[in-house]
Copies of this chain bind each other. A is one copy, B any other.
Amino acid sequence: MATPEVNTRILRRLLASGVTTRAERLLAKMPPADVALLFSGLSQEEIRTVIELLFRQRRAARALRELPHEMLPQVFDAVTDQRLASVIARLEIDDLLELVEFIPEDRRPDVIERLPADRRFELMRAELYPESSAGRVMTTNFIALDEKMSAQEAIDSIRAAGNEDESILYLYVVDEQSCLSGVVPIRRLVASPPERKIDELMIPDPVSVMADADQEEVAQTVARYDLLAIPVTDVDSRMLGVITVDDVIDVITEEATEDMYHLAGLSEEDRVFSPAARSVRKRMPWMLLNLSAAFLSAWVIGLFERTLSEAVMLAVFMPIIAQMGGSSGSQALTVITRGIALGEIEFSSGIGAVLKELSVGLTIGTLTGIAAGGIAYAWHGDPVLGIALFSAMVCTLALTGLLGAAVPLVLKALHQDPALGSGVIVIAVNDAFAFFSFLGIATLLLDHVL
């Protein structure tokens, strides 16, 4: 198989020489995911030509689905409402739902209007499920069996369903009320004698999720049981759809990105190749929040102006505490938010985790405090400096360990995103406290001891 890089090079040459028929043939032969990859290597002009060639083909829908989201506006701009509607009408419902969100709001009603009536209805129904829920990610494309069928009859029903969707891996056994009662892996069906009854073949009582379950929970379940697809039901366990593992991979990737982004105070739309202006717009609110936190620290330091003017050496060493506390806090935060995302904290109370991070912070604070205090004392021969550095390090690292663990757990308990905002809280408290403890202890020592 030619690599995407090679294909891009060939395609550029074909486009440059104007041989669009050969370019179209090359596009038709490439996997849709590679067509999507192509785009980032092409010029604006070339992209426009490729979109036109692509939209002549049946596979345009799949290529569209694979495109990075920030390329979509460009693609949508290049085609008419009618053409766009006829292409996206071929998508499965979960992909359709996702793409529709990216159509500019002023065009959206017109494009939806032009969808076939059944697809339009399906879309409306899917939009009733909460965002990021199983109902939004599932496909309604599955094969249901009756448990009284024979293996051969089941195989015939697969043949009858047509050859279009090769991703069907399980067949679902439902009763008269469409309630899910079992699942038959397609391989088991193939290996069984033709006359064997489905109710003897099926795995009864299969793992399933409800339509309003959060997609992250669905992904955890699929990963935990090593499933290839998971059935989605309503409260009465009536079968509604199926979520396949390729969508689960997308969810896992998205959720990991979301966690990393939220910890750093980033918005998901802020990607490597999104325009700089958008990145600035998305990052500014967080940076202004940070600036307020930084001014809070400055205010705390200002409380000790007199001490600082008497012992300017304190100003030299005070950032050490803030820097160490920040690192330690972000370590605790990362361990806990990742543990929450992987479902590792599900079973035990979070108290154990908080106590552990507190004791780790205390221990590391003591060890690095001894090092920092010792070095500072050896360097400047000032015992106040050494003692203040040591004590502030212990207190600050204990606090950031505690906060780094507790903040995301509290956010989770309040049904908020554990990663969102916890970074700014921990860093703001850390910095203000670091300066307060160091300068406070130093002031006490200077005023009362020496």
Contacts and interface: CB of A to CB of B under 8 A. Distances in A.
Interface of A: 1, 4-5, 8, 31, 33, 37, 40-41, 66, 68, 155, 158-159, 163, 166-169, 185-191, 205-208, 222-228, 245-246, 248-250, 252-253, 256-257, 259-261, 263-266, 270-273, 276, 279-280, 283-284, 286-288, 290-291, 293-295, 297-298, 301-302, 305, 308-309, 312-313, 315-320, 322-324, 326-328, 330-331, 333-336, 338-339, 342, 344-348, 352-353, 356, 359-360, 363-364, 367-368, 371-372, 375, 427, 431, 435
Specify how many copies of this chain sit in the oligomer: 2
A284 B331 contact: no
Given A253-B223, A315-B301, A288 B338 contact: no
Nearest to A333: B264
Given A248-B249, A288-B368, A185 B166 contact: yes
Contacts of A68: 344
Contacts of A40: 347-348
A276 B245 contact: no
Contacts of A41: 347-348
A40 B345 CA distance: 9
A356 B276 contact: yes
Nearest to A312: B309
30 contacts: A1-B207, A4-B347, A33-B224, A37-B346, A41-B348, A66-B224, A155-B190, A186-B186, A228-B228, A228-B245, A252-B252, A256-B260, A257-B338, A260-B260, A272-B344, A272-B353, A273-B339, A287-B327, A287-B368, A290-B327, A294-B324, A297-B320, A298-B320, A302-B316, A305-B312, A305-B316, A308-B312, A309-B309, A315-B318, A319-B431
Contacts of A4: 347
A308 B288 CA distance: 27
A400 to B, nearest CB: 12
A418 to B, nearest CB: 12
B334 A293 contact: no
Contacts of A188: 163, 166
Contact of A368 (B291, B335, B336, B375): B291
A190, A252, A345, most chain B CB atoms within 10 A:
A190
A201 to B, nearest CB: 10
A370 B137 CA distance: 45
A336 B272 CA distance: 6
User: Which 5 interchain pairs have the tightest Cβ spacing?
Assistant: A272-B339, A256-B256, A315-B315, A226-B246, A264-B334
Given A320-B294, A327-B265, A367-B284, A352 B273 contact: yes
Contact of A276 (B222, B260, B297, B360): B360
Contact of A297 (B5, B248, B319): B319
Contacts of A287: 324, 327-328, 364, 368
Contacts of A427: 323, 327
Contact of A252 (B249, B312, B328, B338): B249
Contact of A191 (B8, B31, B159, B208): B159
Contacts of A189: 190
A277 to B, nearest CB: 8
